[in-house]
Amino acid sequence: MTAKPRPAASPGSENGADSLPTPEIVTFGCRLNTHESAVMRAQIEAAGRPDLVVINSCAVTTEAERQVRRAIRRARREHPDRHIVVTGCAAQIDPAAYAAMPEVDRVVGNHEKLLADTWSDTAPPPVHVTDIQTVGETASHLVAGFEGRARAFLQVQNGCDHRCTFCVIPHGRGASRSVPVGAVAEQVRHAVTHGFTEVVLTGVDITSYGGDLPGRPTLGQMIRRVLALVPELPRLRLSSLDPVEIDADLWRLIAEEARLMPHLHLSLQAGSDLILKRMKRRHLRADAIALCRRARALRPDIVFGADLIAGFPTETEAQFADTLALVEECGLTYLHVFPYSERPETPAARMPFQPHPVRKERAARLRAAGQRALARFLDAETGATRQVLVERGREGHTEHFAPASIDRALAPGSIAEIAVEGHDGHRLRARVRRVLVSPAQVPDKTSNRRHA
């Protein structure tokens, strides 16, 4: 690829004659990508590069890549004087395809995008993409992406060692690698001292945490240590969990630790044993049901979210019915539903596929089941006393991650006890009883403990 010269952006060309342009970052895909975009923005601003438009891409589906290409073309139309950089999983997996787009000035890999030198380089190569499989160091760069001034997101793991037949993410993210416990605790403490009252631990496959570290600490062991080192943290939340990798320490935390929020998001994908085997998942239907029953026995108020794929190759109507029934049998509340999308170079792409209308129709039925489940949950919450983390004004989420609107505005990061009075089908409507924690306070560490 040869560099495509663009005229330098002039001051004021973006936002009017009296203001300087700012870098623009367009993000696709997972929450982790969103957090990494926050890191890139800080590095780009520190490097003094307001002329950049960065497309942080996703490769999880063909539709995601189609949207990425459309965003690149739109960015060139809207910003003819800017330098367009493409990064993320799609760029990592197929850098040549994006380098060949006439709108693109530079392609940057997933490893490189989090390095400050990438954005301060005065003569950058047009393609800067390392073979992600050779990146063997631990993920020393903790991503702190912030949602308002309430919830901090910390990346504790990156990459994946599993090879599900439908997934290309290991090719975009590389092998699993973890952040040392001490570094995680330091970042959590930093978040708390800067006013954040909830921390979300995130990664590509966080239940594989620690396998690459000395002593091989598990996710549960890491969390137990972090909570002991930062007793002033009011709330801790986890991103998606693999059903077969919940370790003994994490089970004890679910049972005993009030600061660990009673909401688990599970990577289930399907409810048919044969389809799970064809996906090369490591759990079966019975494992998912047993996990939810065990968690609910330890913590009766716990709620579950789940990722589910509709219309996987060879999936019959009866096998899809098993997935649909799993919503009820596991008591799932929040569903992330994806119609199956073929990805080149994956085993599933060579399997007999379902027509696109079938995939779309099954996804719609799963989403409808999810809406019914959510409505039942919101109905059951009416009359309850809950705690809400205020994210902006009168909006926030309860400990069960139910969105809630409250009757008066509070500072972002406040945690308030609320009386739930009803809902609109999507979010709870509640009255504030009292403010428990304000972002300027250091909460009493003894008030955050409970016993099973």
Quick one: pLDDT at residue 70? 95
- Backbone angle region of 129, left / alpha / beta, with phi > 0 → left and psi within -120 to 50 → alpha: beta
Strand, helix or coil for residue 391: strand
CA distance 442 to 422: 31
Quick one: pLDDT at residue 120? 86
Query: Which residue is listed with tokens 């006013």?
Result: 195
- Domain 385-442 sits in CATH 3.40.50.2000: no
Quick one: pLDDT at residue 134? 73
CATH code 3.80.30.20 region(s) in the chain: 144-381
| CATH code for the structural domain at 24-130 | 3.40.50.12160
Q: Which residues neighbour 262 within 8 Å (Cβ) at sequence distance 6 or greater?
A: 299, 301, 302, 303, 399, 400
Quick one: pLDDT at residue 251? 98
The model's pLDDT over 275-322, given as tens digits with 9 standing for 90+, comes to 999 999 999 999 999 999 999 999 999 999 999 999 999 999 999 999
Look up the pTM and report it: 0.84
Quick one: pLDDT at residue 307? 96
Identify the CA nearest to 236 among candidates 334, 156, 326, 130.
156
Identify the CA nearest to 276 among candidates 250, 314, 306.
314
Identify the CA nearest to 59 among candidates 85, 23, 33, 96.
33
Residue 6 burial (CB count, 10 A): 15
E-assigned strands of 21-82? 24-27, 52-57
Secondary-structure class of domain 144-381 per CATH: alpha beta
DSSP 395-416: EEEETT--EEEESS---TT-EE
Quick one: pLDDT at residue 136? 64
Quick one: pLDDT at residue 322? 98
Identify the CA nearest to 153 among candidates 307, 39, 25.
39
Length of the chain: 452
Q: Return per-residue pLDDT of the chain as tens, 452 residues.
A: 444 444 333 333 333 333 457 889 999 988 788 878 888 888 899 899 999 999 999 988 888 899 999 999 999 999 999 999 999 999 999 999 999 999 999 999 988 888 888 998 877 889 989 887 777 665 444 544 455 568 888 889 988 999 999 998 888 888 899 999 999 999 999 989 888 899 999 999 999 999 999 999 999 999 999 999 999 999 999 999 999 999 999 999 999 999 999 999 999 999 999 999 999 999 999 999 999 999 999 999 999 999 999 999 999 999 999 999 999 999 999 999 999 998 888 999 999 999 999 999 999 999 999 999 999 999 999 999 999 999 988 999 999 999 999 999 999 999 999 999 999 999 999 999 999 998 765 444 433 433 33
Strand, helix or coil for residue 293: helix
What are φ and ψ of residue 87, in 5° steps?
Answer: -140, -170
CATH code 2.40.50.140 region(s) in the chain: 385-442
Quick one: pLDDT at residue 6? 43
**Neighbour-count burial of 134, counting CB atoms closer than 10 A to its CB (0-12 exposed, 13-18 middle, 19+ buried):** exposed
Per the CB < 8 A criterion, the answer to whether 114 and 141 are in contact is yes
Amino acid in the structure at residue 202: T
